[in-house]
Amino acid sequence: MNLIEAVLWDMDGVLIDSEHLVQQAFTEVMLATDYMDDPAQKYLETVGFNRASTVNWYLPYVGSREIAEELYSKVHDTYIELSKTQLKLKAGVVEALKTVQYMGIPQMVVTSTRTEVALLKLARFNILSYFEDVLGGDQVSKGKPHPEPYITGANRLKVPTKNALVIEDSENGVKSGVAAGCMVLHMPDLINTKLEWNNVIYGALDSLESFPEWLSSKQFGMWV
């Protein structure tokens, strides 16, 4: 069993209920083009990507980086408008963060969102102070599903990756955490927990509302 020495939180889809808004924005923009069928389903492939990875993902569909960058910007702008009135925290976030803090475990955010934007989002909901650091997608050379984000996060908190608990909603994020050698807890949002993950993740919870009890059951940081 491994001692939990740090908690590394994904942000969008775990702490902040934003992924469905991005999916809505993506779908609206794509439906105005003829680049792909069923854009709402296609969007799921990109959950957890940073900007560079998302732009690269567009390329086989659109054929040029200029168009890919333009579409990324349109989706982003559409999302920003939606988020002005519809963005909210996921259920149970504050109590989950308080529980980790009470247990004396350092925590930080490891997100694919640009750092500047992530800081604004976290401050908007008054939860920024819970975190020792925020690692954005612009601070790594390779984004999720590559392990670099979570290896970097664990290094910043000066803990071995095997002692870092990663909390993720996306398949790309789960792959990143597992590849980094972290303990991964899946919190389904747009993507359900997959059966093939059973042997590589430490568990899954339907809501952060269950997280305080779940974490406490690990004997204040010990896996049992």
User: 157 and 109, same structural domain?
Assistant: yes
User: 73 and 94, same structural domain?
Assistant: no
Domain end residue (candidates: 39, 56, 86): 86
Please state, in angstroms and rounded to a whole number, the distance separating the CA atoms of residues 129 and 133.
Answer: 9
What are the backbone dihedrals phi and psi of residue 6, each rounded to the nearest 5 degrees, phi first?
A: -160, 150
Expressed in angstroms, the distance from the first to the final Cα of the chain is 7
Return the bridge partners of 204, or none.
186
**pLDDT, tens digit, 9 for 90 and up, residues 64-123:** 999 999 999 999 999 999 999 999 999 999 999 999 999 999 999 999 999 999 999 999
* pLDDT confidence of residue 220: 55
| Residue 221 placed within a domain | no
User: 158 and 195, same structural domain?
Assistant: yes
User: 64 and 111, same structural domain?
Assistant: no
Please state, in angstroms and rounded to a whole number, the distance separating the CA atoms of residues 166 and 48.
Answer: 13
Between the alpha carbon of residue 207 and those of residues 3, 24, 96, 155, 168, the distances in Å are 23, 22, 10, 28, 12
User: 105 and 81, same structural domain?
Assistant: no
Domain end residue (candidates: 86, 108, 129): 86
Q: Is 74 helix (H, G, I), strand (E, B) or coil?
A: helix
Locate tokens 């149970």: which residue?
92
User: Does 142 score more than 50 pLDDT?
Assistant: yes
* pLDDT confidence of residue 222: 52
Dihedral sign (CA 193, 120, 113, 66): positive
Please state, in angstroms and rounded to a whole number, the distance separating the CA atoms of residues 141 and 145.
Answer: 12
Domain end residue (candidates: 86, 105, 137): 86
Counting the structural domains of the chain, the total is 2
